[in-house]
Structure 1
Amino acid sequence: MNRRDFLNLTTTITLAAPLGATRLRAGTLEYRPGMVSRALLSGRTVLVDFHASWCATCQAQGRILDTLRAGHPAYDHKIDFIVADWDRHRIGDMTDALGVERRGTLIALTKKGEIGRLVGVTQTSQIKDLLDRALSASI
């Protein structure tokens, strides 16, 4: 392989890697089937973030969640943050069971049920309120 081919290949890989990839925040789990149920059955409080990497609302929610979590470590100690990639999981048992109709949906859950839900919300105060309610409901 000559230098030009190598540079073209590495540029292509570098540019293509972010496409379709959801950036997971530190301490955030990537959704896999069954993980929400397992976390709830074990007594954990869960925040499910139905996120698409190309969605401006989802990106704004992610920045707000990052800021709130950085300023309040108790959120990460008491809540399991799970990101469900909308492009891969918009059709599935969990999405159907929770009645999720669009990306940009944040749902807080305990084994007793849903604590709250925000759809397309990017106001820090409303997202903080959801996290505070989830924190209060955690063990």
Structure 2
Amino acid sequence: MQHRVPAFLASVLAASMAVVAAPASATERVAYSDAAFAAAQRAGRPILVEVHAPWCPVCAAQGRMLDKLTAKGDRDLIVFRIDYDSQKPLWKKFGAQKQSTMIAFRGAKETGRIAYVSDEASMTRLLASMRG
């Protein structure tokens, strides 16, 4: 006796499997707020401030590389995203001069920064700077 799965059930099952198979980002990304940033600093968390523009190809490449480098369980890292186009006073406060700037902190201490690069070695060094 052969069993047939109804088409709608097959599509639900396929969609469920796609969700399970999709890699989960281990990195928590949030919009920047002074209160949340201060709380993460007090907690001693590794923090990455990301000056991002949606139209910037380097920003997109940085995001993909960050996902790759943190996919294996960097669960305590928090990324605060600052919009380059609409939050100029905020990114100026951090001393950024252009989009695609990433500034690393461990608690209240800045541990490194990169600007306009997305290569694996540079980003690995930046993330490692938060661990020491």
Common fold by TM > 0.5:
yes
SS across alignment from 1:103:
coil
Give the equivalent residue in structure 1 for 2:67: 66
From the CA coordinates, give the structure whose radius of gyration is larger: 2
Give the equivalent residue in structure 1 for 2:3: none
Per-residue CA shift, 1:71-129, capped at 9, x if unaligned?
Answer: x31x2x2311121111121223xx23321111100010123421000000111111011
Task: State the identity %.
Answer: 29
Is this contact kept in 1: 2:51–2:101, CA < 8 A?
yes
Which range moved further: 53-62 or 40-49?
40-49
Is 2:110 the counterpart of 1:109? no
Is 2:93 the counterpart of 1:97? yes
Moved over 6 A (4+): none
Is this contact kept in 1: 2:111–2:129, CA < 8 A?
yes
Give the equivalent residue in structure 2 for 1:9: none
Give the equivalent residue in structure 2 for 1:19: none
Is this contact kept in 1: 2:42–2:108, CA < 8 A?
no
Is this contact kept in 1: 2:53–2:59, CA < 8 A?
yes
Q: 1:132 aligns with which of 125, 128, 132?
A: 128
Q: 2:82 aligns with which of 80, 84, 89?
A: 84
Aligned residues: 107
Offset of residue 68 of structure 1: 1.1
SS across alignment from 1:99:
coil
Give the equivalent residue in structure 1 for 2:46: 45
Offset of residue 43 of structure 1: 1.9
Q: Distance in 2 between matches of 1:84 and 1:127?
A: 18
Give the equivalent residue in structure 2 for 1:32: 33
Unaligned residue ranges in structure 2 (runs of 5+): 1-24
Q: Distance in 2 between matches of 1:62 and 1:124?
A: 11
TM-score normalised per structure 2: 0.72
